[in-house]
Chains A and B, each alone.
Chain A
Amino acid sequence: MGGWAIAVHGGAGVDPNLPLQRQEQAKQLLTRCLNLGISALNSNLSAIDVVELVVRELETDPLFNSGRGSALTEKGTVEMEASIMDGPKRRCGAVSGLTTVKNPISLARLVMEKSPHSYLAFSGAEDFARQQGVEVVDNEYFITPENVGMLKLAKEANAILFDYRIPNGCETTCGANVESPLHMNGLPISVYAPETVGCVVVDREGRCAAATSTGGLMNKMTGRIGDSPLIGSGTYACDLCGVSCTGEGEAIIRATLAREVAAVMEYRGLGLQEAVDFCIKTRLDDGKAGLIAVSKNGEVAYGFNCNGMFRGCATENGFMEVGIWE
């Protein structure tokens, strides 16, 4: 056995003009979360406990697009979703459409462990949250002034777009100070906020787990569900590995990306990094996405086909890395 390994991400698809200060903040947050996970692993907590605990930290910090700091719907509200999967028995839990639950990932875990179901959404999920006594707050708690500003920009950008996908390099952006020509899901990357968060872990016993959480797409239609709560798309874990994805939701769903990594390992016998590279290179077509993964042998890998992904990874033998760019 290879010892424990952990990876975290804060989203794939990064504005190349991201101010340095913001880059620093992101790296600090990733480092902090990584260290949290590392302590837990050194204390022999199981993979499923570690992924939940790390994602809770990412949700609580307003920097990335999950929990507090979530992207806003077209109505200016927050609707959060998350999923978690425990490799050894392939148990899973998912939630969507949360508006008051402080830590969506924990509710997803409760769905997995305390309900006869695997996926609860909207008012049903909110009711379940209250029954379980998880911490709930007003919807306003999750909304940050920064995202209110982003929503405005996104609406302006969409007013000009006819097609929700603009090819890279197109200069007809909105008039709102957006210089970068990079687009994802039809929005200039600086307003897109693809910063879904996730964590994958393999513990000392070789058990893998994965968790993903997000506020979703900026300016999304209310009721829109992305890839993050979908088992097999945004999140997957089995005996062999744990995977969490981020990026353009539609591309990830069409590719059932998380499951794909595990499937090529299982059916083609590819190693972890090979499987990750294969999926990123060949399964996404025009879609932009990234993912983090761990294998039961204590390996960690990541890949992305866009210009950056907020990520951090560490293994028990002392390796540790936090990065944004290629």
Chain B
Amino acid sequence: MGWAIALHGGAGDIPLSLPLESRQPREEALRRCLQIGVEALKAKKPSLDVVELVVRELENIPQFNAGKGSVLTNKGTVEMEASIMDGSTKNCGAVSGLKTVVNAVSLARLVMEKTPHVYLAFDGAEEFAKEQGIETADSSHFITAENVERLKQANEAHRVQLDYTQPLQNGSKEERPNANGDVQLGTVGCVSVDSYGNLAAATSTGGLVNKRVGRIGDSPIIGAGTYASELCAVSCTGKGEAILCATVARDVAAMMEFKGVPLEEAASYVIHECMPKGTAGLVAVSAAGEVAMPYNTTGMFRACATEDGYSEVAI
């Protein structure tokens, strides 16, 4: 028993030869966010607070595809979405289509706590954000040069680009194993179990490069990208459409609950046996303080730590 935390910055066809200037800031960021989460858990903060705190931090980092640094829609705009879930009460909140809210995960939490609803989107969500006085900024805050470049390339290639790690260098398309040249997309997320055994999960994203305006992925969908119960907490990343139809996060918990399978096995099974290769990854923790971080893509930016002193930051 004891606390445990895991977080991710996206799964995808991260090139094995990812240049240092791309690796380092991301690894640093993961380390920093992990530290923030660990400190909070040591200070006996509840899981729900911890996951929100860590995801806020990840949203503020421009190298990850959430909040600042979100990838762009086909119209060059940002539309951010997020969800959060409290395992002990099964309360949940979700938001989609945000353009100005600096921390989508916090608005999702407000939807959960301050409205009779679970999910608010687009104009309605933005109005609610104003009423709540949550921090907003105009689009220049969220849009990065890197993402403008990615959109340009996606447009030139006429496809919805899934890679968030780096814009394609000329002629480097061959690296990807996927037949259509698309590469996997990142998202951010965090799961934790606190010293009292309470579990929580949160996920946040800008979505797919060059997505249609109005496209919703798996991240704000309870049961798909995010889920928490009394047994485990899960946050997913990868190809949203596939994760949605496979209700990945819920499946991990369902296997544990109905088949009595332990966390590692359930998580591994869902990712490796149920999902097409190259489409998904997840981080999960169990009530017993175990951690699992399976992925079927080339890599996944991730970090985890448990109370007994184990910790890991990896790609």
How many A-B Cβ pairs are below 8 Å? 160
Complex Cα distance, B125 from A259, in Å, reads 27
A40-81: CB near B (< 8 Å → 1, else 0) gives: 000000000000000000000000000000000000000000
Cβ of A281 < 8 Å from any Cβ of B? Answer: no
Minimum CB distance partner of B120 in chain A: A223
Q: Is the CB of A225 within 8 A of B227?
A: no
Q: Is the CB of A90 within 8 A of B246?
A: yes
CB distance from A160 to the nearest CB of B (A): 15
Cβ of A233 < 8 Å from any Cβ of B? Answer: yes
Residue of B91, B211, B214, B245 near A92 (CB, 8 A) is: B245
Complex Cα distance, B160 from A210, in Å, reads 28
Q: A119-B244, A120-B212, A254-B90 are in contact. List 11 more A-B contacts (CB 8 A).
A: A94-B216, A115-B212, A117-B211, A122-B121, A222-B124, A223-B120, A223-B128, A253-B223, A254-B118, A259-B250, A260-B254
Cβ of B288 < 8 Å from any Cβ of A? Answer: no
Q: Is the CB of A122 within 8 A of B116?
A: no
Minimum CB distance partner of A225 in chain B: B119
Cβ of A211 < 8 Å from any Cβ of B? Answer: no
Residue of A164, A223, A250, A256 near B227 (CB, 8 A) is: A256
Cβ of B92 < 8 Å from any Cβ of A? Answer: yes
Complex Cα distance, B250 from A264, in Å, reads 12
Q: Is the CB of A225 within 8 A of B120?
A: yes
> Inside 8 A of B251's CB, which chain A residues have their CB?
259, 263
**Most B Cβ at <10 Å: residue of A118, A165, A220, A231:** A118
> Inside 8 A of A224's CB, which chain B residues have their CB?
117, 119-121, 124
Complex Cα distance, B118 from A117, in Å, reads 23
> Inside 8 A of B214's CB, which chain A residues have their CB?
120-128
Q: Is the CB of A124 within 8 A of B213?
A: yes
Minimum CB distance partner of A131 in chain B: B212
Cβ of B217 < 8 Å from any Cβ of A? Answer: yes
Contact A256 B121, CB 8 Å, known A120-B212, A121-B96: no
Residue of B122, B126, B160, B223 near A121 (CB, 8 A) is: B122
CB distance from B283 to the nearest CB of A (A): 19
Q: Is the CB of B118 within 8 A of A253?
A: yes
Complex Cα distance, B255 from A185, in Å, reads 31
Contact A223 B123, CB 8 Å, known A115-B212, A120-B214: yes
Cβ of A236 < 8 Å from any Cβ of B? Answer: yes
Q: Is the CB of B254 within 8 A of A120?
A: no
Cβ of A96 < 8 Å from any Cβ of B? Answer: yes
Residue of B92, B96, B244 near A118 (CB, 8 A) is: B244
- Residues of B in contact (CB 8 Å), total 46
Cβ of A232 < 8 Å from any Cβ of B? Answer: yes
> Inside 8 A of B120's CB, which chain A residues have their CB?
221, 223-225
> Inside 8 A of B94's CB, which chain A residues have their CB?
225
Q: Is the CB of B117 within 8 A of A232?
A: no
CB distance from A124 to the nearest CB of B (A): 1
Cβ of A116 < 8 Å from any Cβ of B? Answer: yes
Minimum CB distance partner of A163 in chain B: B116
Minimum CB distance partner of B227 in chain A: A256
Q: Which of B167-201 contact A (CB under 8 A)?
A: none
> Inside 8 A of B212's CB, which chain A residues have their CB?
115, 117, 120, 124, 127-128
Residue of A121, A127, A186, A268 near B97 (CB, 8 A) is: A121
Q: Is the CB of B127 within 8 A of A120?
A: no
Q: Is the CB of B122 within 8 A of A97?
A: yes
Minimum CB distance partner of A223 in chain B: B124
Complex Cα distance, B79 from A117, in Å, reads 15
Name B's A-contacting residues (CB within 8 A).
90-92, 94, 96-97, 115-128, 160, 211-217, 221-224, 227, 240-241, 244-247, 250-251, 254-255, 257-259
Contact A253 B92, CB 8 Å, known A119-B216, A221-B117: yes
Q: Is the CB of A120 within 8 A of B215?
A: yes
A254-267: CB near B (< 8 Å → 1, else 0) gives: 11100110011011
Complex Cα distance, B227 from A253, in Å, reads 11
Cβ of A230 < 8 Å from any Cβ of B? Answer: yes
> Inside 8 A of A259's CB, which chain B residues have their CB?
223, 247, 250-251, 254
Cβ contacts A to B, 17 pairs, < 8 Å: A115-B212, A117-B240, A119-B216, A120-B212, A122-B121, A123-B122, A125-B214, A185-B116, A223-B127, A231-B224, A250-B116, A253-B118, A256-B227, A259-B250, A259-B251, A263-B258, A267-B259
Complex Cα distance, B254 from A236, in Å, reads 15
Complex Cα distance, B123 from A122, in Å, reads 9
Residue of A116, A233, A250, A254 near B241 (CB, 8 A) is: A116
Top 9 nearest A-B pairs (CB, nearest first) are A124-B214, A223-B124, A267-B258, A164-B116, A256-B223, A232-B247, A232-B223, A263-B254, A124-B213
Residue of A115, A125, A226 near B119 (CB, 8 A) is: A226
Cβ of A91 < 8 Å from any Cβ of B? Answer: yes
Q: Is the CB of B96 within 8 A of A230?
A: no
> Inside 8 A of A312's CB, which chain B residues have their CB?
none
Q: Is the CB of A223 within 8 A of B255?
A: no
